[in-house]
Amino acid sequence: MKALSARRLRALCLKEAYQIIRDPSSILVAFVMPVVLLFVFGYAINLDSSSLRLGLVMEDQGPAAVQFEQTLKASGNFVVEAGPSKAALLERMAHGRLRGVVVVRGDFGARLAQGQGGAAIQVLTDGSEPNTASFVGSYVEGLWQTWQQQRGQNLARHERPMIEVQSRAWFNPSTVSRNFLVPGSIAVVMTIIGALLTSLVVAREWERGTMEALLATPVTKAEMLLSKILPYYALGMVAMALCLLVAVVLMDVPFRGSLLALFVLSSLFLGCALGNGLFLSTVMKNQFNAASAALVSAFLPSMMLSGFVFEISSMPTALRALTYLIPARYFAGSLQTLFQAGTLVPLLAANALGLALLTVLWLGLTAMKTGRTLE
């Protein structure tokens, strides 16, 4: 008996395909959710603030203060809300209606005229959301500098600091957060299809008793494994194409790499994710437990530890070490490079190597745990 018969493999794959097509929940997870998630990451999660609500108390109505007020309002970063007193606006901030309050003191103009550096603008932010608070602080500071510069030019004074920093972004020049969030979220979507969906499939056969019937036929272990991998690999690739299309056509995210590189990396990544899901499914033999384990071991790390939103280098050493075991780490990085930078072979090759090793690990473990008996 051959270890691999093309006919048996085809029959098993066909069966798996019918099951995918006929289960609305797998279609939902494979096609609808990726698009929804892509849009969520593309539009809803906007790390570039644009409409934060800022309170402004103008105790001084002198020309300099008014000019500062105009700079704030013209920036487009804030929805500025003028208030009668600091106390009233702070109360509003305590209720979460404002992200920050800017106070221009009554003696602002006078002190400014003195030129001793004593003129102060107070910025109070809502620190309960540190990230937003940082946004508010730094944007106001940027605007303050803008205002200062304008004043310097207007008044022709030597108030320009001596070091000028010119910054520029290497890739993604407009620094739109969508451009890196969307490629990163594709890694999350692929994890869902690869690990979560497959974590259900072997366990389902055990629960429904079909595994027993399959094992009683001449099916070999290799055929069994491949028949679980290939259809979901195809599904993952279709979803990948869908994601690529949505990202590039609908969301205007640039894609600068080569499709071949994307294909190779996606294949390797799906190998890891599928291996992970199948392993859990094979070991647990119970859909609920396998899916829960997949959620904790694959999905959440792909969000949190892949470096796609949260910087890996900022994590403590132990966690950083852990990320080397997360396939999404390699994939999210590769995707960000492929989308925004292009085919940078050494970088991608290193990621591909990481993925290949993890693929071998997971598929190997799965093959070890897959038996030809019911025990």
Partner 1 sequence: MTSRAALPRPEAPTAPPPGGAAIEVRDLVKRFGADGPPALDHIATWIAPGTITGLVGPDGAGKTTLLRTLAGLLAPTSGTVRILGQDPMAKGSLREQIGYMPQKFGLYEDLSVQENLDLYADLRNVLGDARRKSFEQMLAFTDLARFTDRLAGRLSGGMKQKLGLACSLLGSPQVLLLDEPGVGVDPISRRELWRMVRELARGGMTILWSTAYLDEAELCDDVRLMNGGCILAAGTPQALMGAMQGRSLHLTRLSAPRRDVLQRALRAPEVLDGVIQGDQVRLVLRDAGQRPDLGPIQAGPEAVLVEVAPRLEDAFISLLGGGPGGDSPLAGVTREVELHLDLDPQAVIEARELTKRFGDFTATDAVSFRVPKGEVFGLLGPNGAGKSTTFKMECGLLKPTLGQALVMGIDLKTSPSAARQRLGYMAQKFSLYTQLTARENLEFFSGVYGLRGDAQRLKIQEMIEAFDLGPWLSRRTLDLPLGLKQRLALACALMHEPEILFLDEPTSGVDPITRREFWTHINALAQKGVTIMVTTHFMDEAEYCDRIGLIYRGRLIALGTPDQLKRSTRTPECPDPSMEDAFIHLIQAFQAQLDEVVP
Partner 2 sequence: MLHRLLRLIRKELQVILGDPKTRVLLIMPVLLQTLIFSFAATLEVRHATLAIFDLDGGKASADLQQRLSRTPTFARLLPVHSEGEVQSVMDHQEALVLLRIPQDFSRRLAEGRPAPLQLLIDGRRSNSAQIAMGDVSRVIQAYTVERGVRPASHLVLRNLYNPNLNSKWHVLPSLVALITTIGCLTVTALSVAREREEGTFDQLLVSPLTPAYIMAGKAVPGILVALVQGAIIVSMAVFGFGIPFSGSLPLLLVGLICYGLSLAGVGLFISSISSTQQQAFLGVFAFMAPAVNLSGYVAPIENMPLFFPGARLHEPPYLLHQHRQGRLPEELWFPGRPARPRSAAPHLLRHPLPGPLHVPSPHRLTGPLPTGAAEGRLMERRSSKG
Q: Identify residues 9-38 at the interface with partner 1 (CB under 8 A).
A: 10-12, 14-15, 18-19, 22-23
d(CA 173, CA 337): 14
In the complex with partner 1, the residue whose CB is nearer, 203 or 358, is 203
Which residues in the 223-282 window bind partner 1 by CB under 8 A?
Answer: none
Q: Which of partner 1, partner 2, none has residue 219 at its interface (CB below 5 to 8 Å by kind)?
A: partner 1
> Cα(61)–Cα(290) distance, rounded to whole angstroms?
65
Among 97, 212, 252, 259, contact with partner 1 (rule: CB under 8 A) = 212
Q: Pick what 373 binds: partner 2, partner 1, none; C-beta below 5 to 8 Å, kind-dependent.
A: partner 1
Q: Does 209 bind partner 1 (CB under 8 A)?
A: yes
Of residues 279, 190, 183, the one with CA closest to residue 235? 190
Euclidean distance between CA atoms 293 and 305, whole angstroms: 16
Under the binding rule (CB under 8 A), the answer on residue 252 touching partner 2 is no
- Residue 122, phi then psi, degrees to nearest 5: -95, 130
Nearer to partner 1, 22 or 168 (CB): 22
Q: Distance between CA atoms of 14 and 317, rounded to whole angstroms?
A: 46
Nearer to partner 2, 174 or 373 (CB): 174
User: Quick check: 295 binds partner 2 (CB under 8 A)?
Assistant: yes
Give the DSSP per-residue string, 263-290: HHHHHHHHHHHHHHHHHHHHHH--HHHH
Is 43 near partner 2 (CB under 8 A)? yes
Under 8 Å between Cβ of 29 and 193:
yes
- Please say whether the beta carbons of 308 and 38 come within 8 A: no
47 binds, among partner 1, partner 2, none (CB under 5 to 8 A by kind): partner 2
Residue with tokens 């205002």: 147
CB nearer to partner 1: pick between 150 and 292:
292
CB nearer to partner 1: pick between 20 and 123: 20
| 163 lies in the binding site for partner 2 (CB under 8 A) | yes
Q: Which helix (H) or strand (E) covers residue 101, if one does? A: strand 100-104
Contacted by 70, from partner 2, partner 1, none: CB < 5 to 8 Å by type: none
What are the backbone angles phi and psi of residue 192, rounded to the nearest 5°? -60, -50
Report how far apart the first and last C-alpha atoms of the chain are (Å, whole number): 23
The structure tokens listed for 178 are 């969508």
Does 37 help bind partner 2 (rule: CB under 8 A)?
Answer: yes
Query: Which of 44, 163, 169, 216 contacts partner 1 by CB under 8 A?
Result: 216
d(CA 12, CA 17): 9
Q: How far is the CB of 118 from partner 2 (least distance, A)?
A: 8
Question: What residues make contact with partner 1 under the rule CB under 8 A?
Answer: 1, 5, 7-8, 10-12, 14-15, 18-19, 22-23, 208-210, 212-219, 372-375
